[in-house]
Amino acid sequence: MSWLSALFGRRKRERELDEEVLSHLKMAAVDHSERGQATADAERAARREFGNVGLVQEVTRDVWGWGSLDRMIQDLRFGVRMLAKSARVRNWREHRTLFRSERRIVQSPAVSGAGAVGDASREQAEF
């Protein structure tokens, strides 16, 4: 049950991680502003000291243990989106739709019967 709650509690953990990173940045900015720096300079210095926020969050997710599975799911979603957008797949969809409509027309008794009579009358007219 713990893996299930871990899987579905991801949004909560992500939100907590964002809050944690922001609180560290705010504490560092307050520390710099108490030393006499302007607010904007203190925020920049705090970000510079903290480092790459995205990298810190990614490393934290890897520590949680679901990093490789999460990346695989993201890669699969990206691949499916790219396949859906590609011209070949769109052409395949159009071809499949046309093939289905042609098959319906050929299998329809009224159309196939009329076509057969029309073909026979054309052959007789040519002789």
Least confident span in 43-47, 48-52, 67-71, 120-124? 120-124
What's the residue count for the chain? Answer: 127
DSSP 54-101: HHHHHHHHHHHT-HHHHHHHHHHHHHHHHHHHSHHHHHHHHHHHHHHH
pLDDT in tens, 18-52: 999 999 999 999 999 999 999 999 999 999 999 99
9 pLDDT tier (thresholds 50, 70, 90):
confident
Would you give the distance in Å from CA 126 to the centre of its chain? 60
CB 13 within 8 A of CB 62: no
Domain boundaries, the chain: 1-85, 87-127
Residue 43, pLDDT score: 93
Query: 């713990």: which residue's tokens?
Result: 2
